[in-house]
Amino acid sequence: MDKTIVDILQQAGLLIAELWLLILAVAVLLLDVFSKRKRGYLTNALAIAGIIINFYFIYTTSQKYPIADQATFYFFDSLAVYRYTYLFQFLFNTSALLCLCLGMFGRDNKNVRRGEYLALIIFMLLGLHLLAKPANFLILYLAIELISFSAYMLTYFNLNKWGTEGSLKYLLFGAFSTACMLYGISLLYAFTGSIDLEALQQIVMQTDQVASLLIVGLILVGLVFKLAAFPFQGWAPDTYEVAPTPFVAFLSVAPKIGAVFIITLIWQQLDAINTSSQFLYYLLSFITLGSILFGNLGALWQKKAKRLLAYSSIAHTGFLLLPLFNNSTNSMEPLLFYAFIFMIMNTAAFAWVYFMEVRLKSDKIDALSGCGKVQPFVSVLLLVIMISLTGLPITAGFTAKLFVFSELWQSISTTNTLASIVFIAGLINVLIALYYYLKFPYTAFFKNPPVTTLPFVLNVRQASFILVMTIPLIVFFFKPDWLLVLIESLS
């Protein structure tokens, strides 16, 4: 046989998780066609089971293609296994699983086109799996486009008028930014003749500053858009508001963390040379400070829970990027800790909003009023989630922010003054965030509902979902080393 084919067959095991997801998506679509009368129950069960099985495939891949400190390359240098590849795949998979589980709760009016919805989420997960191991820009581009296209369509899946509007705006923004990114990649190819991620080093060393900054900047545009970070955050509130809420819980976490991973990869390439790093720090502090400030200030005036959480997730993006200021190699650990906690608390918050929507058909924060008197225990869980999103003690949100800020503190003492400005601004913003996050528990406990309406209550299943999501937030505050051990064992 041809040597190329032999090579490909030998390395095909690396893609077993991705292949499984592809098969799963097709199976879900087929099952949906043949079991239309059963209200999508079977399809849902199949998708959830498939994603749980996918954990096993990630595990076997990690055994067969072990991680090393340096990246190992496969498929003619187009895919790579980085130190954190499997960890990120695990994160994405968990996020998708939570999203599908959450979707089980509101099936009453959302059973239309259940199969397509699930298949698109699985395709998005497939794109995210590829995003965890790109070695060149072609794979990166394809992964990002796969994620984006699925997301554009999923935004419309509430199947109403506003869904189309949010979807259209998301699509126009998204297509524009990926086109910018693609032009950056093509310029990179023009100057270096290579589409590998390593070509970034070459371009910064060989060409003059303006050209290399233009290229790096253009490539960052696409990624920052996926992040919904500062200059390209405009789509986030509108899109989050009209999209199906379980999907938003996925969209606001997984692609964001994936984009952060790619930015860290690019950062490692550029940091290795250290020539234009001063400018890059200016750019980074612009993005982080901008998104923290914009997210927090935008959230202050929101009346609707989903919109508020959209702005809050923009602010969290800034915090996710803070560890990048420290250019030592272990800066991934606080980032990963933050990513894990962010996933849990954000999903919990969106779950709460989703239950409100299912029951009340609205997501106004005022609808919570009186909830604390009827269901004190569940409302305390809401308080815990919101305190965790703010980043105050006895929740893991505090631990995560503590790690991030202590890492930043170290880089202040070693490198630059820019970090100190970011440090102080970040701390002030935690205080601003306190105001709008506490709106939820405040409304629940202290406001009286209008006499005509009954207060909002959760049923037992919904409350237990919230409880399961809240327990880790408290456990990881007292035992952060448990999560660190998990991170350590996967990387």
Partner 1 sequence: MITIIILLCTENLKSILFGFSASVLLTLPLAMFLPEVYLFTSLFLFSAGISVFLVKKNAIVMLIGIELMLNAANLNLVGFNQLYAAQANGQAFSLFVIVVAAAEAAVALAIILKVYQYYNTAEPDDINEIKEQ
- Which stretches of the chain bind partner 1, using CB under 8 A? 137-138, 141-142, 145, 149, 152-153, 156, 161-162, 164-169, 171-172, 175-176, 179-180, 182-183, 185-187, 189-190, 193-195, 238, 241-242
**What is the Cα Rg of the chain in Å?**
22
Burial of 153 (0-12, 13-18, 19+ CB in 10 A): middle
Q: Which amino acid type is present at position 367?
A: A
Nearer to partner 1 (CB atom), residue 153 or residue 358: 153
Burial of 108 (0-12, 13-18, 19+ CB in 10 A): exposed
Q: Is 82 left (phi over 0), alpha (psi -120 to 50) or beta?
A: beta
Nearer to partner 1 (CB atom), residue 196 or residue 407: 196
For tokens 């072609």, the residue is 138
Nearest distance in Å: CB 112, partner 1: 14
Nearest distance in Å: CB 174, partner 1: 9
- Eight-class DSSP state of 395: S
Residues 6 or more apart whose CB falls under 8 angstroms from that of 94 comprise 343
Nearest distance in Å: CB 218, partner 1: 10
From residue 389, alpha-carbon distances to 98, 181, 184 in Å are 18, 32, 36
**Nearest-CA neighbor of 423 among 407, 405, 411?**
405
Nearest distance in Å: CB 139, partner 1: 10
Nearest distance in Å: CB 310, partner 1: 11
Nearest distance in Å: CB 101, partner 1: 27
Provide the Cα torsion 234, 240, 242, 248; round to 10°. Answer: 150
The helix (run of H) or strand (run of E) holding residue 73 is strand 72-74
Nearest distance in Å: CB 311, partner 1: 13
Nearer to partner 1 (CB atom), residue 83 or residue 304: 304
Q: Which amino acid type is present at position 219?
A: I
Three-class DSSP labels, 161-197: HHHHHHHHHHHHHHHHHHHHHHHHHHHHHHHHCCCEC
Residue 178 and residue 144 in contact, taking contact as beta carbons nearer than 8 Å = yes
Nearest distance in Å: CB 365, partner 1: 15
Nearest distance in Å: CB 469, partner 1: 28
Strand pairing partners for 304? 364
Nearer to partner 1 (CB atom), residue 87 or residue 219: 219
Nearest distance in Å: CB 444, partner 1: 23
Nearer to partner 1 (CB atom), residue 194 or residue 410: 194
Q: Is 39 left (phi over 0), alpha (psi -120 to 50) or beta?
A: left
Nearest distance in Å: CB 64, partner 1: 28
Nearest distance in Å: CB 221, partner 1: 12
Nearer to partner 1 (CB atom), residue 176 or residue 279: 176
Strand pairing partners for 73? 80
DSSP letter for each residue of 241-308 = HHS-HHHHHHHTTHHHHHHHHHHHHHHHHHHTT-SSHHHHHHHHHHHHHHHHHHHHHHHHT--BHHHH
Nearer to partner 1 (CB atom), residue 187 or residue 408: 187
Distance CA 301, CA 296 (A): 10
Distance CA 130, CA 15 (A): 9
From residue 60, alpha-carbon distances to 66, 82, 129, 134 in Å are 10, 16, 15, 19
- CA–chain centroid gap for 58, Å, is 19
Nearest distance in Å: CB 242, partner 1: 6
Nearer to partner 1 (CB atom), residue 222 or residue 370: 222
